[in-house]
Amino acid sequence: DAEITQSPRHKITETGRQVTLACHQTWNHNNMFWYRQDLGHGLRLIHYSYGVQDTNKGEVSDGYSVSRSNTEDLPLTLESAASSQTSVYFCASSGAYTGELFFGEGSRLTVL
């Protein structure tokens, strides 16, 4: 069965360190998205991609970057982690025509 997986599921890091969260999907979807979920804010879009070599900024992109070198993967990098980036991160993908979203299980990141 097709799926979308995130790793690591839990990570604790220190302020200033670089962190990369992985997202891998086997749906062969062109569209991939990264969201963060925080109490009181709900889900917010960080970055998204509509295909290989395409990346776009979302609502809360400062301090984050993504790259899309193949269809399956969209890693999210925090160049210099800050405590404000402590959150639960969700990756999602969707087909070009249906628009239905498929989410990963989430990655809980704690920045100390």
* Interface map 31-50 toward another protein (x if CB under 8 A): x-x------xxxxxx--x-x
Residue 20, exposed/middle/buried by CB under 10 A (0-12, 13-18, 19+)? Answer: middle
Size of the site for another protein (CB under 8 A): 25
| SS3 call for 15 | coil
By the rule CB under 8 A, 78 interacts with another protein: no
> Is the backbone peptide bond immediately before 75 cis, with ω within 30 degrees of 0?
no
Nearer to another protein, 64 or 90 (CB): 90
By the rule CB under 8 A, 63 interacts with another protein: no
Residues from 91 through 110 that contact another protein (CB under 8 A) = 92, 94, 96, 98-106
Pair of tokens at residue 84: 């404000």
